Structures are given as structure tokens and as C-alpha cells.
Structure 1
């Protein structure tokens, strides 16, 4: 059975002030009962209550209203309370669901709690029983709020968590989840598109406890991968001049991070499965097996379930990897984080390149927020660094004109030939930047050389090289 993937978009933890009032959804097919329950709840405090009969789309209803508490009848035409619980947990695993039923048997109550219900309220209900149930829910929310507050305090002092920039609901919940999963030594599967920060998440889970050994499985040929992972003995193959400890052993009492695990060959998948089952392995050319003790964090930029269906990844290995799992959201699904990320990169690369830049101009921020970012945070970082390099000297805010043409700026294609829209080469970027500095200095080459931090002869050589194609 697969572990449920952590949903970073689930409801954010409440503040203590928010815990006093609740948004409550009542799913009940008897209108008189629903209205009575609503009146009783409203008499207990300033709660916001919404009534639903038998919704055709429970999950959609939950996402639309975003309740703090769901009260559902157990027996309804075409729907039962157990299905409501299942769909509620798929939307937000922490959302409390209270089952309300006239069939108040011990068996039903136990089954409801096993299914994930927070509580069971028997019909006919008294005002006192409703008030007691609401008090339990409020206490639960306050405990979660305190836990979230402690986690935020820990994040402020934790460099690995602080590296996961963003104040969107998705990023707040991701950091809270990381705090929860640090202690267990269970395997973790991190899925997400390229550039979403999978290694940053792995390092935050590791939290500096023991060695952190990382390897990108797509970057190493199959014939070397076995020796890299398992190690070898002297003379095991041509070129094995001495014993070598493999990465599996290097990660002892720490973390082994396998990036792009989806790129592993079938042979390596089978060998890794055996290691995870046996907690031991045999180096290449060795006669004895060695004991292993590491925590495995695996990352994939493709959904492994899709690869399993295509026959490209072993299902049994997937189950070994997928004890805990999380999907990282692409940048386009958390656009509210883009200004924070972009300004962080502006300040970082302004320091690196000796610029006075401190922030984004409003038009530049709007352009970045509207972009698609197929390369996610990594692409955003590259674009911002390029814009910082090309920004006119002396500016304190990064203007729209420094961004690439596809984002509405001029960037490195400032003087590009008409009709040329391909990405610029590194030489072209350098040439455009030199010409830009010369325009700022009014053609004063000595001043331009000082700004560029190169000597005068180097500038002349670069200008001569830039002019050669035109001469030709």
C-alpha cells in the first residue's frame, strides 16, 4: 500500500486568535436537522456555518469553502460519511471530520474513527454535546497552532529550513512537514519538476546529522555506477589499483541522497532493492558482505507511478522508497513567492558582481510573476543574475529593461539583429554588456575598463574580437 503523498497546499496552521472561531461545513440530507444543528453551533460562538445537502463533488465543495471542521451525516442517499471522510483527508489530512448519526452504535463509532473521523456525534444531539465537541476541535486547533509557532521559531534559527524561501501556504506547510519527518529514519521520496529545490529539501530533512552523501543517477554511466555506490576491492577490474569505499558505506549513520532516481537502470534498481531489503551489500570483487546503516532520500523529476505503468521502474523498489513522500510545487503554482525569491537573488548577485541593486522595480516584479518558469526556481535565479549583470551601473532597483525580451525587457538582445530571437551565447552576452557600459561612459574606454574591472588592453582585445564578424 502506497503512503499518501504530503499535500503542501493543505490548510495552513491557524494562529491562536483564529482558533477561537471556526468555518464549519455541515453535510446533511435532512434540512430540518441541518438547520437545527446550525442554530446550536451558532449559539456556541461566532462560527461561520455553511449547509450542504448531498454534494455531487465533495472535494470541490471542501476546496471552495475551505472549512476548519466538517460535520457529516453517516447515511445519505448516494453518499455516506465514510466517503466524506476519505475525500476530506485527500484534500487536507489534518481536517477534522465529525460523523453525526442516529445509528449510534459502538461498531459505527469505532469504524468512523478508524476511517479517520475526529469524533462521533449521536442523534438526537443536545446543545451540551455539540458544545463539548466544538471545544475539543478548538483545543486541537490551538495545539496545532502552538506546534506551528514552535516550528516557525525553529525555522528562524535553522539555516537548512531558511534556505527554502517562500511564504506561500505551500512553502509554510512544506517546512512544517520537514520538521515532522526529520526524526524517523524512514526512506523519503521527493518528487518535483527540475529546479523546484529537491536537494534543498533533502538537506533540510538531513539537518546536518551525520554525513550527507549525494549522487545524481542521471550523471553517471551504468558501468561506473555500481562501483560508485558499492565500492570495490583492489584488482576487481582493470584500473582498480586500490580498495575504494562506496557511497553506500560513506553515508553510514547519515543520509544517502539519490537524485534523479528515475534514471537508474533496471540492473541498478534490482541491486538497490536488495540493499534496502537486506541492509547489507557486497563491494565489487569482495568475498564478504558489509552491514549498512543509512537513511535513503530519493528524488525524481518524473512521477515514478507513471514510469511503473510504462515498465520503466520497479514497483517493489517504488514501495521501498515511498515510505514518506512529498511533491514539490512548481513555481507557477506559488507565484506569490516570486517577488521574495527574485529580490533575494537580486541582493545575492548584486553583492557578487559589485552592484548597488537592492530591489526589483515594480514593472520587473510584475513581469517575473506573470512568467511560466518551466525551469522553476533555478531558471528564475539564472534570469535574475543575467539581469543584474546587464543592469545599468548605479541603479538601486532592477528595471524591466534588464530582463530578457520574452519577459518584456531588452536584456542581452539589446542590439540583436532584427528577427533574431534565439537565446544569446555567452560571447554575445559579454559583448552586449561591454557595449552597454561603453554607452554609459559616452565611449570612454578607460572608464569602461575600470567599471568592467579589466585592464585597458583586455577591453581593446574584446572590442576587436567583437568587431571581427562585422568586418568579415
Structure 2
């Protein structure tokens, strides 16, 4: 037995209406539903405001019976106080569907979304997508020419079709693409950093509130701010520019002028008007790095610009407007700065809605290897020359870079500079072990403040990196004492002075010789060093 075809729809108060003979030359979507040769409508559930449009509906129902006598029409009185009120329309349609006796085992249901206001159409869609209506959407369209007997066309939209799943998959893929953009395309392995990026992606696409990025110098605050701008610009949320300034470079009277602009003659040397960075960022994104370095006067002006989108340029008595989104960066603890009176608590409260701390490279050691690949690929792309590590050199560099000895004081700036040095010095596009050893020594000196390698590091060479910290500290003390003593016996007596009285043998020199031999050292070598 064939399943019955049932259509629910609103009576179109304008497009379905008509009383004279000329109505047959007009496309009326409800009547046209019964005029399609290859689709039989068994029942029409017609929602009508009977008090206002009952007489018009009488004509349309009679005409539908004439063109499709096999279609049963059931009318339901639905009076909407305001057909453009979303809450009222949704509630009325929801209650109707709740009370309707659906028989999905025997009937196929369609909701006609062509008639009714746009609000009604949106509500039908929402109720169908949420399965309050167990059927499909039906969209009808008029013929190209208004001619009697032409029913136009119709389209059935099934929100459960696989293509809808593909739309959902495309949405999910878009979110993944957005997050990769924020991560610079680097496959990070740090779970905490990835969770932070996921939330930043959500906030960036849904909010224009200020954002505060905290973290040490070189952690990537500036790059992340620019990626947020690119993400929002790609979604047509920010048609303006990306404007960046390091507040640590703003000093004295020039700070006000740089940020808020000035008018001609505002001060000596102001030979023309200057718009300022806030106005340059209108409808765009302003990134103020090291915001903790701003003076208190600039902070007060910035707060007003954030809250009112208006401010006074230097020397002007006429306010200007700028509607920008702000991302601030800092490597300082702003709460401490507030307590010390160096930062305004009301400005911090305005910035502190979305605060994220970017971890330094030393806190993301599992991400060093993918960032190493990223930096090497970037250098190769910029220089149009392919460079790669040989296997042993790469293993040695990664072991050092991801180990506890690597401080990465400058974070990703240090890593980028290190890769640039290695790539520049590579012979025939290959980074060799010798280069890696030189670079590791350079990084150690850099993190020690530029001083020469320690005595122990000079003695052991490559073996120094293989020492546990415990052994390193102990051996450094032993070597330092040996260099002060004139003989091995003297060094042994000082090293083992406490325990020598508890032993039968007091050959402290032999005991020292054996200890040094554990690390491949002897007395003569240590003394020469």
C-alpha cells in the first residue's frame, strides 16, 4: 500500500489570495501544489487565520479541490498576534506540531515553507531540523511566465540526507582549518596549548571583546594576534586593517600622539594632522604589545576609547571616533602592576574578559620538533633553497633542544635564529653534525650571558651533554678543587677529609683517580685545563 503524502503549510495571505477570474492567471503556491502531474497530494493541513483571511482561504481551497479533487484539505485556525514576532510564531507552530497526531509509519510529511513570513520560514526550518516535525521541507517556485495551468516547480529538502552530514563535516573541517591558521599550520603536540587554541578560535569568531595575551618575550603573542585578525578578516568580520605597536617604544609626549593622533600645531614640530594608530585601526584590529609599559595617562585615554569608541586627539577639542577590536600583549604580571600603582585596575578589568597565557618554548618541549620543521621549511621557502639535516645531526639537535639543558630564553625567536644560522652555513643543502655541535655551543654561551663554556664543558666536550645534572654539579666541584691543589694527594685529602678516618685505607689519591676515570678524565688533563 502506497504511503499517503501529507503537506502542512500556512495560507499565503497575499500570494494565495484572489477572487476574480484573473486569479487563474496568477501563480498561487497552495493551489499549485495540486497541479503537478507526477505528484499526488493526499492531504493538505492548511493553517489559516480564519477571522482575517477565512473568506480568501475559502476560494483557494475550492480552487484546489477543482484542480485536485483527490486532495483532502483540513483547515486549522491559527491566529498570530504578530507574524514577525519570532517567539510568538515559534511557540504557535511548536504547539500545533505537539498536538498533531503524526503517523510516520503510514504517511510522508512535508512542510510548505514558501508561504508565510520569513520568520515563519525560519521557525519551520528550526522545528524540522530539531525533529519536532518528522518530515521534510518543501520549497515551491513560480513559473518563469505567469500562465494559467503552469504550477511552477518544487524542491524537497531532506535535512537528514547525507549531504546535510557533509555540510556538518565541512563546518567541522572549517573549524579545524581555522585552528591550524591560529597555530601557523604547525602540528602542535602540547594538549594544553591545543585546548587554548580551540577556545581562542571560538572566541575570535563570536566576540569582539578585548583579548589579553600573556607570556614571555618570543612566545608568539604578536603572531597569534595577527592570525586572529586573518581569521576574522576571512570571515568578513573585520574589514579594516591590522595595526600593531610595541608600547615599550612609546615615550613621553610622542606616546599620546602615536596612539591618539594630533592636530596641526598641537606642539612644537606638529606641522600637520596625524590620525594616530587607534583611528588607523578603525573597523580593524589593534594589537598593543607590552601594554604594561603604557603610561597612566595613555591608559585612561585607551579605556575611554574602548568603552565609548571616542577620544580626543592631542591638541584638539573635537572628538573623533574609531570602532576597533583590541588585543593586548604583555610579559608582565598586570595584577602586580596594579598593586604597585603602575597599571589602572579599571583598564585591566576591561581587558581581562578573555585572558590567555602563551607558554614558552621550554614548556612545550614536545612541540620543538614540529616547530623545527616549520622554521626550516620557512627558511627554504624564503631563500628558494632546500636545506635539511642529515639523520645523525637532526637526532643530536633534537635531543639537545628538547632536553633540560636547553633554556630557550628567547623562546621561538631563539629557535628561529638557530635554524637560520644552521641553514645558512649548511654545505650543499645538508646540515652536518659538526655544525650542530657548533650551534649547541653557541646557544649555551648565549644562555650563559655570552661567557665562555665552563671548565668542565671544555674538558668533556660532547660528553658534557650526556651527564646527569647530579653528576655535573658534583664533578664541577671536584674539578674546581683539583685546579686549586698542587698534587692529587692534597686534592684527595680535602675531598675525603670527613670519611678518611672511618676507612682502613686512606689512599685518597687513588680514590680520586678512580672517580675521575669514571668520566674519562685523569689528573694531568684536569690540571692542564
Please give the range of the TM-score, normalised by the shorter of the 2 chains.
Answer: 0.5 to 0.7
Q: What SS does the corresponding residue of 1:190 show, helix, strand or coil?
A: strand
Residue 186 (structure 1) aligned with residue 209 (structure 2): yes
Q: What SS does the corresponding residue of 1:361 show, helix, strand or coil?
A: helix
TM-score by length of structure 1 reads 0.52
List per-residue Cα deviations over 1:220-242 (Å, max 9, x = no partner). Answer: 22221101111111121122222
**397-406 vs 190-199, greater mean Cα deviation:** 397-406
- Please say if residues 390 and 402 of structure 1, whose CA atoms lie closer than 8 Å, have aligned partners that are also in contact: no
- Please say if residues 195 and 378 of structure 1, whose CA atoms lie closer than 8 Å, have aligned partners that are also in contact: yes
Residue 268 (structure 1) aligned with residue 268 (structure 2): no
List per-residue Cα deviations over 1:44-68 (Å, max 9, x = no partner). Answer: xxxxxxxxxxxxxxxxxxxxxxxxx
* Distance across 2 between alignment mates of 1:167 and 1:149: 24
**1:431-470 alignment to 2 at 5 Å?**
none
Provide the aligned length of Structure 1 versus Structure 2.
271
Q: What SS does the corresponding residue of 1:258 show, helix, strand or coil?
A: strand
- Please say if residues 233 and 285 of structure 1, whose CA atoms lie closer than 8 Å, have aligned partners that are also in contact: yes
Residue 324 (structure 1) aligned with residue 354 (structure 2): yes
- Please say if residues 179 and 197 of structure 2, whose CA atoms lie closer than 8 Å, have aligned partners that are also in contact: no
- Please say if residues 256 and 294 of structure 1, whose CA atoms lie closer than 8 Å, have aligned partners that are also in contact: yes
Give the counterpart of 1:170 among 188, 192, 214: 192
Which residues of structure 1 form unaligned runs of 5+? 1-145, 411-415, 422-472
The answer to which structure, 1 or 2, has the higher relative contact order (CA under 8 A, 6+ apart) is 1
List per-residue Cα deviations over 1:109-142 (Å, max 9, x = no partner). Answer: xxxxxxxxxxxxxxxxxxxxxxxxxxxxxxxxxx
**1:354-365 alignment to 2 at 5 Å?**
355-359=385-389, 361-365=394-398
* Distance across 2 between alignment mates of 1:171 and 1:355: 32
* Distance across 2 between alignment mates of 1:320 and 1:188: 9
* Distance across 1 between alignment mates of 2:169 and 2:296: 42
Give the counterpart of 1:367 among 397, 400, 413: 400
Distance 1:288 1:191, change over 3 A: same
- Deviation at 1:348? 2.4
Give the counterpart of 2:328 among 286, 298, 304: 298
Distance 1:351 1:185, change over 3 A: closer
* Distance across 2 between alignment mates of 1:153 and 1:397: 40
Distance 1:152 1:373, change over 3 A: farther
Counterpart position of 2:439: 403
- Deviation at 1:356? 4.1
Give the counterpart of 1:197 among 194, 213, 220: 220
Deviation beyond 6 Å, 4+ runs, structure 1:
146-149, 416-419
- Please say if residues 227 and 284 of structure 1, whose CA atoms lie closer than 8 Å, have aligned partners that are also in contact: yes
TM-score by length of structure 2 reads 0.47
Counterpart position of 1:95: none
- Please say if residues 266 and 314 of structure 2, whose CA atoms lie closer than 8 Å, have aligned partners that are also in contact: yes
Which residues of structure 2 form unaligned runs of 5+? 1-166, 447-451, 458-529
- Deviation at 1:257? 0.9
- Please say if residues 235 and 241 of structure 1, whose CA atoms lie closer than 8 Å, have aligned partners that are also in contact: yes
Distance 1:417 1:252, change over 3 A: closer
* Distance across 1 between alignment mates of 2:181 and 2:226: 7
Distance 1:299 1:152, change over 3 A: farther
* Distance across 2 between alignment mates of 1:395 and 1:255: 41
Q: What SS does the corresponding residue of 1:403 show, helix, strand or coil?
A: helix
